[in-house]
Every structure is written in C-alpha cells, then in structure tokens.
Structure 1
Amino acid sequence: MSTSTSGLLATLRRHWTYYVAEAAGAATFIIVASCAAVVVQHPTSPVRQWLGDNDLLRHVVLGLPIGLAVALMTYSAWGQRSGAHLNPAVTLAFWQLGSLSATDTFWYVVFQFGGALTGGFLMEQVLAPWYTHPDIKQNVTVPGDWGVGVALLAEAAISAFFMFVLLWALHSEQRRKYAGWLLAGLLALYIGFETPLSGMSLNPARSLGTAVAAGNFTGLWVYFVAPIASMWLVAVLFQRYYHGATFECAVLAGCATPAEAGPYARQQPQFPDPQGDE
C-alpha cells in the first residue's frame, strides 16, 4: 500500500479501531503506573508506610500492579485486536519483521504517542497534590545516579532481552499462548530491579508522555535510542537466524481472525525451526 496521504487516510478509515486500542493501552499504562507510584512511593500513603524505606521492596511491589495491568490489556478484546504493542519500539521491530505495513506502522506509532501524551497530561492534573514529590518525580523516567551512559546501556540491555523473549515465545505455538503473561512478568521484574539505573522505560511513548507533561526532558533521548535500536537489532538477528521468517502474526495476543480484516488478518505462517523444536 502506498504511504502517500491518500493511502494513510484510507488505512486510518479501515483500521482506526486498532489504533485507538493502542492509544488507549498506552494511556492506561501511564495511568496505572502513575497511580501505583503515588500509592507505593508517597510518604503519606499507608502502603508506603507499611513497606518502609526499602527501595528495592517498594520497586518490586510497584512492578506487580503494572505487570498485571499489561497482562490484562494484552488479553483483553481490544488488546487482541491491535496486538497490544503499546510501544513504538515494539511496533517498529514488528514492521521490520514484516508483521505490519508501513501505513499501519505509522498510525500505530502516532496513536501510541498520542495516548501516552494524553495519559501524561491527565495524571499531571489528577495527581497534582502528590505527583511532584521527590520520590515520585511526576513518574518521569530519568537516568539514575550512575549517569546517562549506564542508563543507555541498561535500557539497551533490557530492551534487547525483552524483544528476544517476545520473539522466542511467539515462535512456538505452545509458548505464544502465554507470551503476554511472560512479558508482563518480565516487565514487573525490570521495574523491581532495573529502575535505579534508568528509571525503567523500554518505551519511547511512555517516557515522552510523562516528560512533556512534567516539562522534564533530562536524558529523554536515551529512551528513544536504546529501546528502538536494540529491539530492531534483535528483530533483524532473530529473523536472520530463523531463515527470514516473516512473522506475520508476531503479536502478543495472537493473530486476528480473517473476518476482522485488520492489520493481522492473514494466514498464520509456519515458522521454520532450525532445532526442530516446535
């Protein structure tokens, strides 16, 4: 399909429900993460008082509702329609794999950023009395005490592993059923243990949404460069290792049915497995 203006508008008319699902998912992620941060981190919260001053424990607890929210969104009806990317870096990697057309990719990314910005500004207003506390920092992802270099390496590492696990799960019919839960659990672990290094983003839209709302752009480029570059590289290497498989149905929630005629309404391919392990 042409990427001209007419082609973009035609695709928007056909698949707008998928794009809205991505926007809603990105906004919901920021809403859940921001509310959880206030509940777990703000000194006046009973949960924070019960958890005490153990940063690691608080980060582990913080990861639980966020991971659960991602899993629920993934397996929701809307998540299954769009594939529950919620992340421009994931979408661009799937475009590289042949899962999405250029026009669908464009709208996915636009709506993901739009949803994240909406969620960021909404939380800035709703949580204003508590949001600016130093322990919450308006839920902005900024490099930790080790600096920008460490944050860049950390984001690249967790993004690369995230994409590898995702493609590894999607490569198997059996593992694909549990891919959403697997990735949600990995995300929760990242929040628990990686947050001190980079603030744990993985997601350019998530970082931009809170950064713009807060007016804090410290190290923002890290959360664009690291996730996009590392996820794209893993996708390229994984595709090459599996002999150029197109991964047409490489989505967390599985393929849409042909009747839905959406971005993933295609025949599900059989992926070659060099190890013979289905």
Structure 2
Amino acid sequence: MNTLHRHYPEYLMEAAGLGIFMISAAVVTALLEHPASPIQQAISEPFLRRFIIGVAMGLTAIAIIYSPWGKQSGAHINPVVTFTFFRLGKIKPTDTVFYILAQFVGGFLGLVFATKLLEPASVKFPKGLADPSINYIVTIPGTGGVGIAFIAELSISFGMMLMILFVSNIPKLSRWTGICAAVLITTYITLEAPLSGMSMNPARTLASAILAQNWTAIWVYFTAPLLGMLLAAEVYVQSKGKRAVYCAKLNHHNHKRCIFRCGYRQNSSNGQSILSDKLPSL
C-alpha cells in the first residue's frame, strides 16, 4: 500500500492517458466514418479516411507522450508495453499491476465518456457510436480471417516495441520516440487496420468489446500484441544486452520524477550523463 500511496499520481496519469486516446479515437472515427457525417460523405475513399484518422491518432499520441503527465508516467497507455518493460526489469511488480489496472479502467471510462459526449449530437449522428459503421470502434478480424489478424497484430506490436527500445535508448534520438510512435500509429491505421482493426492494446480492445458486446476473436488482441512485444524485447536484448535498456519512459528529456528502475538516474547519480538534460530523482 505504501507504493500505491507514493505512486498513485502515475497510475491516474496512465488511466487518463488511455482514456483521452479512446475519446479521440471514438470522436474522430465518428466524424470520418458515420454515414450521416458530412466528412464521410465528402471523402468517399476509405484509404484516405483511414489516413486522416491515423494522422489524428498519431497527433493524439504525441500530445499524450509529450504532455506533463506523459513525461511523468512514461506514457505507456498499453498494458502490453508495461508488461514488456516489467519483463525487462525496468518496472517493479506492484507498479506493473497498478499500471495495468489503471490502463484497463481508463480505456473503458474514456470510451463511456465519448459515448456520452456524442449523445447531444444524436440527431445529426443517429445511434452515435452504436451505429454499425462504428460499433464502438471495436477491433475484430477483417475479411482475411483470424489467422491474418493474429499475424498482423503480432507484426505491428513487434515493430512498435522494437522501435521504442532502439530509439528511446539512443541518447541522441530518444527525444524523438514519441514522434516515431506517432508515425507508426498513422501508418498502421492507414495500412493495417483492414486486417485486424489495428489494436496492439488489449485494454483498448476490451473497452470496445464490452460496449459493443462483440467478443469476436478477442483472444487475438490479448495474445498477439503480448507475443509481438515480448519477441521484440528478446531481439533487442540479444542484440544490445539487457543493460542497454535504460528506463521504461518513452520520453526522458524532462525533469519529472521517474518511479522506474531507471538507468538514466543511476548514471546521473554516479556523475555520468547519458542525456544532456539533468535527470530527476525520487
């Protein structure tokens, strides 16, 4: 309970981060995909609509990662990212449990809030997020089937985690981790979404599944992202060594406190400087 008392701000920040991401995803998707939306009627090409949604979600990710909250919590907003850093020894077990719980709760509450947010617009957007064209932004396999969706989710999760590990642990590049993540999100939504819905995040998928009451192949969205990110971590460790993972934050160029097993802080306390910025201590 002592850890909960000391670190609850980070847990709340993680919940809020994924909640905000879900609100943005729901509202943007409604504007681009609802059949009553003038934007949907003006842009008939699904590829272009997905690209616009991807850009919007990439910008949302940037805003979260580089926000004061994202700088402090690390901006995982994904239970699989948190678990992978736990597997790498960067997060203590108690923090891991509370981060994951917060992410699941935050994702669900964010989507519920988005549903309520769109209710006043129900005249212009009949059924709101419940419209079949949106269906609470549920992630389910595309026409290629479950097998293709599994491979797709594993692949994009592998790519995202490998990028995070390589970029965030190169001092000259680490401040660009959030930008690289946004580029991948935009690319994945544009190109991969027809295959699996583009989740990479079991908390995001579960929130949609609960409200849509659609559990189609939900096991894919719990297993494939986990396997993909753990595989990326293994590839990175085999290539660079476990000590090359400095911290679990996506953005460490700030003076916010760090609750992780932080290599940046340890080196700073030993008189060495990995980053050009001064690093915070607990």
TM-score of the aligned structures, taking structure 1 as reference length:
0.88
| Counterpart-to-counterpart distance in 2, 1:137 and 1:242 | 43
| Counterpart-to-counterpart distance in 2, 1:207 and 1:120 | 11
Could you tell me whether the CA contact under 8 Å between 1:39 and 1:45 is conserved in 2? yes
- In the comparison of the two structures, how many residue pairs are matched? 260
Please name the residue that 2:102 is paired with. Answer: 111
| Counterpart-to-counterpart distance in 2, 1:192 and 1:97 | 31
- Which residue of the other structure, out of 229, 232, 235, is the alignment partner of 1:231? 229
**Could you tell me which amino acid in structure 1 is paired with residue 203 of structure 2?**
A
Q: 1:158 to 1:175 in 2, by over 3 A?
A: same
- 1:15 alignment partner, SS class: helix
CA RMSD of aligned residues (A): 1.8
- 2:218 alignment partner, SS class: coil
Map 1:28-43 → 2, pairs under 5 A: 28-43=20-35
**Could you tell me which amino acid in structure 2 is paired with residue 99 of structure 1?**
K
Please name the residue that 2:238 is paired with. Answer: 240
Could you tell me whether the CA contact under 8 Å between 1:256 and 1:262 is conserved in 2? no
- 1:145 alignment partner, SS class: coil
Is 1:47 aligned to 2:54, yes or no?
Answer: no
**Could you tell me which amino acid in structure 2 is paired with residue 88 of structure 1?**
P
**Could you tell me which amino acid in structure 2 is paired with residue 59 of structure 1?**
R
Q: 1:27 to 1:208 in 2, by over 3 A?
A: same
Could you tell me whether the CA contact under 8 Å between 1:89 and 1:231 is conserved in 2? yes
Unaligned runs of 5+ in 2: 120-126, 268-282
- 2:163 alignment partner, SS class: helix
Please name the residue that 1:208 is paired with. Answer: 206
- 1:70 alignment partner, SS class: helix
Identity %: 37
Is 1:89 aligned to 2:80, yes or no?
Answer: yes
- After superposition, what is the alpha-carbon deviation per residue over 1:191-241, rounded to whole angstroms, capped at 9, x for unaligned? 011110000001111001111122111111111100011101211221122
Q: 1:261 to 1:142 in 2, by over 3 A?
A: closer
Could you tell me whether the CA contact under 8 Å between 1:152 and 1:226 is conserved in 2? yes
**Could you tell me which amino acid in structure 2 is paired with residue 247 of structure 1?**
V
Is 1:262 aligned to 2:259, yes or no?
Answer: yes
Map 1:174-213 → 2, pairs under 5 A: 174-213=172-211
Deviates more, 1:232-241 or 1:216-225: 232-241
TM-score of the aligned structures, taking structure 2 as reference length:
0.87
- After superposition, what is the alpha-carbon deviation per residue over 1:251-278, rounded to whole angstroms, capped at 9, x for unaligned? 2111775x836336664467xxxxxxxx
- After superposition, what is the alpha-carbon deviation per residue over 1:80-107, rounded to whole angstroms, capped at 9, x for unaligned? 0000000011001111112111111111
Unaligned runs of 5+ in 1: 1-8, 271-278
Q: 1:193 to 1:24 in 2, by over 3 A?
A: same
Could you tell me whether the CA contact under 8 Å between 1:255 and 1:264 is conserved in 2? no
Deviation at 1:65, TM superposition (A): 1.0
Please name the residue that 1:4 is paired with. Answer: none
Please name the residue that 2:148 is paired with. Answer: 150
